[in-house]
A and B are shown apart, each in its own frame.
Chain A
Amino acid sequence: MDIFAQQLVNGLVLGSVYALVALGYTLVYGILELINFAHGETTMMGSMIALAVIGALFGVAPDLPGILIVLAGLLVAIPACMLLGYSIERVAYRPLRHAPRLAPLITAIGMSIVLQNVAMLIWGKQYIAFPTTLLPQGRHDVFGASITDVQIAILVLTVTIMAGLVTLVNRTRLGRAMRATAQAPAVAQLMGVNVNRVISATFVIGAALAAIAGVMVSANYGQAHYYMGFLLGLKAFSAAVLGGIGNLAGAMLGGLLLGVIEALGAGYIGDLTGGFLGSNYQDIFAFLVLILVLTLKPSGLLGSRSVERA
């Protein structure tokens, strides 16, 4: 086995999940300059809803092909999360669009506490198992690294979604409206763009991505829990900032980079420092890179320096 290749694969898989969640942060930030702190919880909701459907379906019709059951879970989770994303925006952010900058941040934190606790009331305090037998369990050797079917699916899906998203933003009417709103909401409004609709659409798209990421996470790690969104959201948000928040390619790059840094950091830091520092400093590694990048390039890797709105 080649350890370096394996660590690269580990990092890329982890990074793909970060990237997918980071896209949601970046989409919203690009348009509203708002950190949607509840986005991590949307991911959690996606994975819980999907698991509930998968569990129910598996109970009723265990003979169905596994992949179909998982797909059904995903197809319920996506619209459910879209609705959730839409409602969060309507309830917690839209009334505060002209309020002081930090006000929506606090409602976001409030929403994320609410969502966590609602999930806890509905699905209980237990970790919920993902019936992994539903999905192909194959393991492959690529350049001396081992990779599972689920992990390959994660990588492929992430790239596909990213491509789709870029097309959406750059080639469609909605995408044009989104870019216009990001540039200058007032002007966009005057040019006939329904700004509220565009903002809602952005939240809904971000939530759909979160749902997919949520299912991926639970399929890969075999479990879900009402608390899982917090740390994932935090990491993904860091990834979005690393890449330059508001920039789609940046979120992707930031996510993958963060995943690889974490994997390589945890894998090699102990040997590099002769055991003085260990994998306990894994998270420090990620944050140090983040701080270093931002100190040298204050708007992230691919971000452009924007004039700050008060």
Chain B
Amino acid sequence: MKSTLLALSVAMAVGLGVSACGEKKTEAAAGENGAVTVKIGQSSPLTGPQAHIGKDNDNGVRLAIDEINASKPVIDGKPVTFEVMSEDDQADPKTATIVAQRMIDEGIVGVIGHLNSGATIPASKVYSDNNIPQISPSATAIKYTDQGFKTAFRVMTNDAQQGKVLGAYAAKLGKKVAIIDDQTAYGQGLAAEVEKAAKAAGAEVVAVEHTNDKASDFTAILTSIKGKAPDVVFFGGMDPQAAPIAKQMHQLGMTAQLLGGDGMQTPKFIELAAADAEGAIASIPGLPIDKMPKGADFKQKFEAKYGQIQLYSPYAYDAAYVMVDAMKRANSTDPAKYLPELGKTSFEGVTGKISFDAKGDLTSGPITLYKVQAGQWTTLETILPQ
């Protein structure tokens, strides 16, 4: 009993000691030189299976902030330097709330993130409790903006917005549609909306199959789908699964059209699936980047600095601009002051015109469909929501 208590006290002291060490280091780093520095948070998975997409978001935010800093912004009469504070949320809901709190402790005035809906939703509560505006560049779950938080925004369409377009398009491609999802909040959410929309447009959904976001063998479900002879196979999920699906469809001699959402519309998909990527169709919210006024410029600058665009970096880039834009209009970096301005955003970004509805969703997101032709994603058509 005595030794128990004794050891407990020691354990506590050790715990405190460890944390105290951490603290000293932060203070040392926080020694800034005179100018007004404003911190903007960025959070996405920087380790684990989705790290490459998480890093892409980080790069998008950094590029925007570097550009903004180079333009020597002045807010409320003072020159402002923005600083990106980037934290790894490991795509884990629990870690997401910790890093959210950590960034708030460090005095961020707004956050671009998170990447996954599963991390974005629990973190959004922490931001809302602390009145910190949040713009997710990539979370698509309907629930995110549906919780009644005034601080939650996104520059990405939600599952329903994109699912509606994709479902109707699938029905246009063929009468029989098969659907595969990857059992994540993103994939399942999108696939469910596509299924609804495809049925509404008169298509027959002949199969609904599921896999997971770590799988690489899909032959079993594809064989079963092949037996039902669909015209279109829709996949709700990310490129690491979409590529082997494209490959294995050909291995099995399937001729159905592969259709996917934004998770599949990546250069990595083409690189991984190589010849088998040919002919695949995928959508991504917004207008084609090369058609946007600043698009080509963005692409060139991004590639020069970080290499190929993976997926959501243009959205992360826009999100950072939208946030600073609201600060400029409010003439304040105080979250309480610029939050109302954020809701009134009307911004020409590289992904399209950005404005928010009362919930924080994009008001009128056009969605563009692309097809792989000669090893390139080429624009097929842009669909405006009804």
Please classify the interface of chain A as helix (H, G, I), strand (E, B), loop, or mixed, using the class held by over half of its residues. Answer: helix
Cβ-defined partner of A263 (8 Å) among B220, B244, B272, B274? B220
A132 to chain B: which residues have CB within 8 Å?
A: 247, 274-275
The answer for the CA separation of A223 and B273 in the assembled complex, in Å, is 9
Does B214 lie at the interface of the complex (its beta carbon under 8 Å from any beta carbon of A)?
Answer: yes
B252 to chain A: which residues have CB within 8 Å?
A: 6, 146
The answer for the CA separation of A270 and B178 in the assembled complex, in Å, is 14
* B208 pairs with A127, CB closer than 8 A: no
A227 to chain B: which residues have CB within 8 Å?
A: 48-49, 214
- Nearest residue (CB) in B for A265 is B220
* B244 pairs with A221, CB closer than 8 A: yes
Does B211 lie at the interface of the complex (its beta carbon under 8 Å from any beta carbon of A)?
Answer: yes
* B244 pairs with A223, CB closer than 8 A: yes
- Nearest residue (CB) in A for B215 is A231
* A222 pairs with B55, CB closer than 8 A: no
The answer for the CA separation of A158 and B220 in the assembled complex, in Å, is 21
Please classify the interface of chain B as helix (H, G, I), strand (E, B), loop, or mixed, using the class held by over half of its residues. Answer: helix
* B271 pairs with A129, CB closer than 8 A: yes
Stretch from B133-141, B146-154, B169-177, B221-229 contacting the other chain: B221-229
- Nearest residue (CB) in A for B216 is A221
Q: Smallest Cβ distance from B190 to chain A, in angstroms?
A: 16
* B220 pairs with A225, CB closer than 8 A: no
* A221 pairs with B253, CB closer than 8 A: no
* A127 pairs with B272, CB closer than 8 A: yes
Q: Smallest Cβ distance from A114 to chain B, in angstroms?
A: 13
The answer for the CA separation of A11 and B223 in the assembled complex, in Å, is 11
With A125-B52, A146-B251, A223-B243 known as contacts, the answer to whether A270 contacts B209 (CB < 8 A) is: yes
Stretch from A30-38, A79-87, A276-284, A292-300 contacting the other chain: A276-284
- Nearest residue (CB) in A for B310 is A126
Cβ-defined partner of B220 (8 Å) among A217, A279, A280? A279
**A42-75: which residues lie under 8 A (CB-CB) from chain B?**
none
Q: Smallest Cβ distance from B173 to chain A, in angstroms?
A: 22
Does A267 lie at the interface of the complex (its beta carbon under 8 Å from any beta carbon of B)?
Answer: yes
**B194-226: which residues lie under 8 A (CB-CB) from chain A?**
207-212, 214-217, 219-221, 223-224, 226
Cβ-defined partner of A223 (8 Å) among B212, B220, B272? B272
* B220 pairs with A222, CB closer than 8 A: no
B223 to chain A: which residues have CB within 8 Å?
A: 3, 6-7, 10, 263, 267
Number of B residues, CB within 8 Å of A: 40
Does A133 lie at the interface of the complex (its beta carbon under 8 Å from any beta carbon of B)?
Answer: yes
With A120-B47, A280-B183 known as contacts, the answer to whether A127 contacts B240 (CB < 8 A) is: yes
B210 to chain A: which residues have CB within 8 Å?
A: 278-280, 282
With A14-B219, A146-B251, A227-B49 known as contacts, the answer to whether A222 contacts B224 (CB < 8 A) is: no
- Nearest residue (CB) in A for B223 is A6
Does B68 lie at the interface of the complex (its beta carbon under 8 Å from any beta carbon of A)?
Answer: no
Does A287 lie at the interface of the complex (its beta carbon under 8 Å from any beta carbon of B)?
Answer: no
The answer for the CA separation of A248 and B55 in the assembled complex, in Å, is 43
B48 to chain A: which residues have CB within 8 Å?
A: 227
The answer for the CA separation of A1 and B247 in the assembled complex, in Å, is 18
The answer for the CA separation of A177 and B132 in the assembled complex, in Å, is 66
Does A236 lie at the interface of the complex (its beta carbon under 8 Å from any beta carbon of B)?
Answer: no
Q: Smallest Cβ distance from B278 to chain A, in angstroms?
A: 13
**A169-223: which residues lie under 8 A (CB-CB) from chain B?**
217, 221-223
* B208 pairs with A217, CB closer than 8 A: no
A10 to chain B: which residues have CB within 8 Å?
A: 217, 219-220, 223
* A129 pairs with B274, CB closer than 8 A: yes
**A95-142: which residues lie under 8 A (CB-CB) from chain B?**
117, 120, 124-127, 129, 131-133, 139
A–B complex contacts, Cβ < 8 Å, 6 sampled: A14-B219, A221-B217, A227-B48, A270-B224, A271-B224, A282-B220
Q: Known pairs A120-B51, A127-B240, A133-B274. 13 more at Cβ < 8 A?
A: A3-B227, A6-B219, A10-B220, A129-B271, A132-B247, A133-B275, A222-B276, A225-B49, A266-B224, A270-B207, A278-B208, A279-B210, A282-B220
Top 10 A-B pairs, shortest CB-CB distance: A125-B51, A280-B210, A10-B219, A266-B220, A125-B52, A263-B220, A267-B224, A221-B216, A227-B49, A126-B52
